Amino acid sequence: MDWRPIHRWLGLVAGTIALILGITGAVLAVDSVRDAWQSVPAAADLPVAALAQRVSATISGAEEIRRLPSGDIVVYAFDAGRAMASRVDPADGRVLGPYRPSGLSHWFKKLHRSFLLGDAGRLGAAAVALGMLLLSVSGLMLMLRRMGGWRRLADRMRGSLVQRLHAATGRAVLVVLLLSSATALYMSAATFDLVVLDAGSEPDVVSVQIAQAELPAGRLPLLQGLRVGDLRRLGFPSAADPEDTWKVTTAQGQGWVDRYSGQTLAWQDATAAQRIHDWAMLLHTGEGAWVWALVLGPAGASIPLFWVTGLILWRQGRLPRPRLADNSPSAQADVLIFVASETGSTWGFAQTLHDALVRSGHRVHTNSLEHFQVGTAARRVFLLAATYGEGQPPAHAARALERIARTPVTAAQVAVLGFGDRQYPAFCAFAEALDAALGAQGWSTLLPLTRIHQQSAQEFARWGQDLARALGEPLELAYRPRLPPTTELQLLSRQDYPGGADQPAVILRFGLPAQRWRDRLAGQGLARFVAGDLLGVLAPGSGAPRYYSLASGRRDGFVEICVRRLPGGVCSGFLHGLQPGDSIQAFVRPNPGFALDGERRPVVLIGAGTGVAPLVGFIRANARRTPMHLYFGARDPARDFYFGAELERWLGEKRLASLRTVFSRVANGGGYVQDALHRDAGRVRALLARGAAVRVCGSRPMAQGVARVLDDILGTLRLSVAQLKAKGRYAEDVF
């Protein structure tokens, strides 16, 4: 079952109204805590008879004693025809002062329970509670799917900041929201008599030994056996009606007592429905359990956060499909493009491919993947597919595989292009499923399956070159992503390294511009970034950004990157030409799957060349002295030992637990980082057995070599790199 549409629409409809319930619920929970802390409760073993005796001695005309959920004892009485309500000290019956319920709290309760609309509002609140229950269940199902099952539910969240806020907060308060919505439904059912709480009509009881003197309250056997902790109400017999009786209501039931003999005239046990209602009231309001109210308050206050982050995610998922020029009818097109996109971003790549093929003279039809249909005129079919969560298709394409299976095979050639993030173990899994399904049916392949990491325009352009060769015609795929607003950064300092093979490198440190608090709150500009995020730099005259891993976080007070100059590289050449005082236009793209925020386990850091930059950022931010072990590979310690002085200093400060360096172009340099890992196999195995996280940054061949070595090392632990990735312990940033 696909829970995503259910979750989204419930969140938009019920979630909007639930904002009121969440905020008012949080306020009422605070009231419950305040009342409990200010109350004067009775001793746990105090008999009801003793309390009644003390009240009778201190308050004339007492008619009823009530024990509030906070534990306070309130006595209602008439004095000279005037109604009174007084708080009393149960230890001696002394009046502590008048009891005046808060008018503001009463207003909040009415708003929470009925939106101030009476029975119609109560029905609406019940409907919202049902929506919140389904919203919580659907959220749990989606979280289980995203995390990979119950066993991984407590693993570290991945995704963008908004996704992590939405999911992590939901995981923290999910049980509370489930209980709150379920109890609200039960209480609503009782309000509208769908659940019968009473045991039946009250028995017809009267006191008959009127000639006798009344027994004092302290000598009534039933009241002697009851404890104040169980008391709800105790009604005194009316002085004006000699046949009237004592009536006591407790958590266990209610009883009637003869005022003259002390005999228990009748007793009704509380029904199961009433007991469930009592528990529902406690769990929903926290009244009578202030510790639980401390949990309910933040849970209610979290609903606005749920709603805002959910709304942002919904809006991201509804990015408008681009307008496609010359979108030929499907039956007349010789090229078909089908798109599966969860957030709409894949459509930008589809538009680029569509426009390029139209310019080459093709008749192109582009549509969503759920409309997969191939006519006899089609010669080429392209499927551009993003993967959601742990390998699921985007919501709109949930039945695409079934549709493809029903489509007759034609002579058209097909090519599948997948979009995803390598930090997830199910990287491009849906695209793989599409490619396998097409192959199993016998479709002819134009190009093998290609996977695009993090919407890389460069990888897409390389795929376009492969496609041009396969088609035998010129084709250029110049994808221009929608870019966030840029920020001007001024260069503070540079540190040059000669490098080798005419590829020098430089460490560039930029100042952080002043930022208004409103912009920071809205997340605009460089409001928040951490080491391992990506700095997108726009070289003058270039519309495509180049991304560089950040060696610093915002708390460091500067922006730092390490850049190797590539032959013919427009952006790297521009950056190498900067001098202190010069400026660039840049923005930050989060890289949450690679970050190490709050990591407390040991960490194995593996980097080569300029790939050491984000690892340096992790070490720099390691104020907690988490054990971090760095394996760093370069060519020559005299030419490209990046951040060498800083690493030595951090070793002394214990921010870095150990440093292993290898240099491939000098005698006895140790080879490559893979070789260092192999030599240290026992030590690395011990760290991994202790739950160490792994971060790898550098070239793709290096990362592949590291993964092979670590698979060998992990073999004796019956683990693999793939398993570590699935648990969020292993992540790569490769280029």
The three-class DSSP label of residue 552 is coil
Q: How far is residue 529's CA from residue 98's CA, in Å, rounded to a whole number?
A: 56
C-alpha span between 214 and 126 (Å, rounded): 48
Q: How far apart are CA 482 and CA 269, in angstroms?
A: 68
Lowest mean pLDDT among 94-103, 162-171, 447-456: 162-171
Predicted pLDDT of residue 477: 92
Paired with 506 in beta bridges are 496, 563
For residues 718 and 321, the model is more confident at 718
User: Can you tell me the distance from the alpha carbon of 663 to that of 665, in angstroms, rounded to the nearest whole number?
Assistant: 6
E strand or H helix that includes residue 256: strand 253-257
Q: Is residue 365 within 8 Å of residue 377, measured between CB atoms? A: no
CA distances from 627 to 462, 532, 604, 660, 709 (A): 40, 18, 9, 14, 22
pLDDT of 522 strictly over 50: no
| pLDDT score recorded for residue 21 | 81
Question: What confidence score (pLDDT) does residue 1 get?
Answer: 56
CB 207, CB 244: distance < 8 Å: yes
Question: How many CB atoms neighbour CB 82 within 10 A?
Answer: 8
Confidence of residue 151 (pLDDT cuts 50, 70, 90): low
CA angle 711, 713, 717 (to 5 degrees): 95
Spatial distance between the Cα atoms of 337 and 452, rounded to a whole number of angstroms:
17
- Average pLDDT of span 417-437: 88
Token pair listed for 182:
């379920």
Of 37, 87, 51, 39, nearest to 250 by C-alpha is: 51
Closest CA to 222 of 266, 280, 270: 266
Q: Model's pTM, two decimal places?
A: 0.61
At residue 24, the pLDDT reads 86
The secondary structure of residue 423, as a DSSP letter, is T
What is the Cα–Cα distance from 405 to 665, expressed in whole angstroms?
54
Tokens of 201: 């009509």
Rounded CA gap, 425 and 422, in Å?
A: 7
Give the pLDDT band of residue 76 (cuts 50, 70, 90).
very high
Tell me the β-bridge partners of 335: 364, 380
| pLDDT for the residue 644 | 94
3-state helix, strand, coil in the chain (%, to 5): 40, 20, 35
Amino acid sitting at position 448: P
> Can you give the pLDDT at residue 521?
45
pLDDT band at 611 (very low <50, low <70, confident <90, very high): very high
| Position 320, amino acid | P
Residue-wise pLDDT tens digits, 558-567: 999 999 998 8
Query: Has residue 517 got a pLDDT over 60?
Result: no
CA distance 121 to 115: 5
pLDDT at 146: 64
| Average pLDDT for 270-274 | 91
Output the pLDDT for position 211: 65
- Looking at residue 416, what is its pLDDT? 97
Look-up of token digits 């404890």: 227
Q: What's the mean pLDDT in 355-380?
A: 94
d(CA 548, CA 564): 10
Work out the mean pLDDT of the chain and round it to a whole number. Answer: 87
* Length, in residues, of the chain: 735
Cα 607 from Cα 734, distance rounded (Å): 10
| Mean pLDDT value of segment 44-55 | 93
In angstroms, the CA 517 to CA 570 distance is 35
Q: Which two tokens stand for residue 411?
A: 């002579």
> What is the structure's pLDDT at 80?
74
Residue type, 585: Q
Report the relative pairing of strands 246-250 and 253-257 from DSSP bridges: antiparallel
Q: How far apart are CA 656 and CA 604, in angstroms?
A: 11
Rg from Cα positions in the chain: 35
Distance CA 380, CA 527 (A): 45
Look at residue 390 in the predicted model and tell me its pLDDT. Answer: 64
- Confirm if 703 and 696 have CB atoms less than 8 A apart: yes
Q: Mind listing the domains of the chain with CATH numbers? A: 4-37+105-197+278-315 (no CATH), 41-88+198-270 (no CATH), 330-471 (3.40.50.360), 483-592 (2.40.30.10), 598-735 (3.40.50.80)
Q: What is the pLDDT of residue 320?
A: 56
pLDDT > 80? residue 569: yes
Confidence of residue 45 (pLDDT cuts 50, 70, 90): confident
C-alpha neighbours within 13 Å on the C-beta side of residue 721? 18
| pLDDT for residue 657 is more than 60 | yes
What letter does residue 238 receive in the DSSP assignment?
A: P
Residue 554: CA count within 13 A, CB half-sphere? 14
Average pLDDT of the segment spanning 411-427: 87
- Predicted local distance difference test score (pLDDT) of residue 268: 92
pLDDT of residue 494: 96
* Amino acid symbol at 398: A
The stretch 61-77 carries a mean pLDDT of 93
* Listed residue (166, 435, 202) closest to 304, CA to CA: 166
- Interval 5-36: pLDDT, tens: 677 777 777 777 777 888 888 888 888 888 88
